[in-house]
Chains A and B, each alone.
Chain A
């Protein structure tokens, strides 16, 4: 689904990615692990189209309907409409904007893009509540202002809710597990697990092995100094848990 080749990128003149190669196929779940400052968040933000990054070289191709498109040519909201989703490590608060209104607008933009039916306020509320209940999360979040006065756990849950409602094809989940207590972690993890299917690819970015106990992953990559230094199956994550990142790269 996504083909990243020899990607070099910088932000404010400082290199963050130094030759990333990564292929994620439909139906796969990958985990990207690594120490602080390794470039994990940068990678997901570049995929989502964050304008602060400068791509020095390399390519990212995104496959839709068996056709490969140059992702770097696509605008931020265009990428989202085409099924790319990045959950935020620190979801942004927007005062005054109701979560429901935000979700409905995003859902309807997507519907418009795909030529499917837009939902009015009542139908959407019903649809959203169903989705949220299926995730085992609290529908009260819908009535509040977008992320405003949400606890850390609620913000992360709200990202998963957005993912469930927008139903993207490629999801980069940036430290969705950090700052969660064990119950919240289970809720979020089972949300992710239930979201996997053969048409969708999920990339979990994390510091910790913890979340991988709840979500089955096909591949684990270790990112260090802007490069993938090691790839393997889930046993690699256990190695890291034992020995840390020091001996890699």
Chain B
């Protein structure tokens, strides 16, 4: 049920936009096309020797991977069980995305920078690597400490440096790579691994459980407000290496943490698979705010290259009065398949989802959230902003499910789509299932586009076209950007500007 709206007349003061339900397609050949075609500026490759497995996936590969990482038996068992589940599963096809089949035997499942000895200080970190981070704008230095951010940098699959461990240790906060957590805190890993996203959950979650290489682990003890915003930068570097990150965050009763995750990737001709799993657990009255800025390489304007991003992110509001908030700015990847969700199990718990998904060129994004209300008086809020440009395809898919047990549950959902020029499309598929009669569900949706008249109006006040586009976009995304930590919000604004602006001058 797509509708086309051909309208190129700049002279019409009030063009009408055809919308049908939540589906709208805008087709135009405005000259502003250029503005929306800016190359990913983080597209470069660092020359560092790395150790990489031969391509292919089988039980032996998993055993070797586990052996290299010196994992305890229960992890290997977890992996092997997941692998046997995965073999019986098939790729999901319900998402509104199109891509040629992935050959899972054409992927290498492990790649690590060769010098694997843990670094004691920043001075020991490979200079080439530091330069890469610098170009990406990741100041892995003391500046970050002053800015109040601890960075766990993930370069390909192995965490190479972790800052501010000591400061965190003082408060009993554990923030380290997943591999390190497996070695040092096996009891916590054993208790929580796969409890929110079981290996059987879906195809990509099962694959991740079988072959995950590294990621982050974060544990906030009872009553502790984490003294720093915790931040992880993921990055894919080696060609044809799948990246299978696994993140686990546990917040004990009355604790609080802001967690930031940022991603960039260099240009690659061949598509790369990224299948991450993130699990969050919030106990009584604990608060976890999880923010993501995702800017994987999205391929060129012909749809060549780019990351396939199949991610399972889920939070469990286990305790009464707990709160989990997802904020995401999705601006990259050729394909995004991602639905950060919250299971509102504890009574009075709160789940939030704030999202900006920007697609341009031939990008495809099928993203949204699930809010599962189980406990009484649970509240959820969904704010989704989709921006489509060029020939991209942008889908919001959401589920609000209220169980019979969740009396007096409330949900508010707002889905806004903004279409820029050209042959892009925006679709929303909200699903609401309510099994009691004391709950309140509100859903609002809108579709608009950046009109030529709006841009002209701002230009006639002396703003360049680029600035005009950026002001309109930032205005549209304001509710989401306001939820990001200040530093991240600046980065997010810059990222969207970069994506949508013309490279004038």
Residues of A participating in the B interface, judged by any CB pair closer than 8 Å: 11-12, 48-52, 76-77, 79-81, 85-86, 88, 90-92, 94-98, 101-102, 105-106, 109-110, 113, 145-146, 162, 166
Contact = CB atoms under 8 A, between A and B. Distances in A.
Contacts of A96: 472, 474-478
B465 A145 contact: no
Nearest to A87: B460
B462 A102 contact: no
Nearest to A92: B457
Contacts of B471: 94, 97, 101-102, 105
Interface string B450-464: 010110111111111
Given A52-B10, A92-B456, A109-B464, 16 more contacts: A49-B460, A50-B10, A76-B456, A77-B462, A90-B13, A90-B14, A94-B457, A96-B474, A96-B477, A98-B475, A102-B458, A106-B463, A109-B462, A113-B462, A145-B475, A166-B461
Contacts of A49: 460
A109 B467 contact: yes
B11 interface: yes
B4 interface: no
B448 interface: yes
Contacts, number: 82
A113 B467 CA distance: 14
5 smallest beta-carbon distances between A and B, as pairs? A96-B475, A97-B475, A80-B462, A52-B11, A92-B457
Interface residues of B, number: 27
A92 B454 contact: yes
Contacts of A80: 459-463
Contact of A76 (B460, B467, B475): B460
B9 interface: yes
Interface in B1-33: 9-11, 13-14
Given A96-B478, A105-B471, A109-B464, A76 B454 contact: no
Contact of A106 (B9, B462, B465): B462
B457 A95 contact: no
Interface of B: 9-11, 13-14, 448, 451, 453-454, 456-465, 467, 471-472, 474-478
A52 B11 CA distance: 6
A102 B461 CA distance: 9
Contacts of B472: 94, 96-97
Contact of A88 (B11, B457, B463, B477): B457
A92 B475 CA distance: 15
A76 B459 CA distance: 6
A99 B474 CA distance: 13
A94 B454 contact: yes
A19 B477 CA distance: 46
Contacts of B454: 92, 94
Contacts of B462: 77, 80-81, 106, 109-110, 113, 166
B124 to A, nearest CB: 41
Contact of A105 (B457, B465, B467, B478): B467
Contacts of A90: 13-14
A95 B476 contact: yes
A12 B475 contact: no
A94 B475 contact: yes
A11 B459 contact: no
Contacts of B461: 80, 102, 106, 162, 166
Contacts of A86: 460
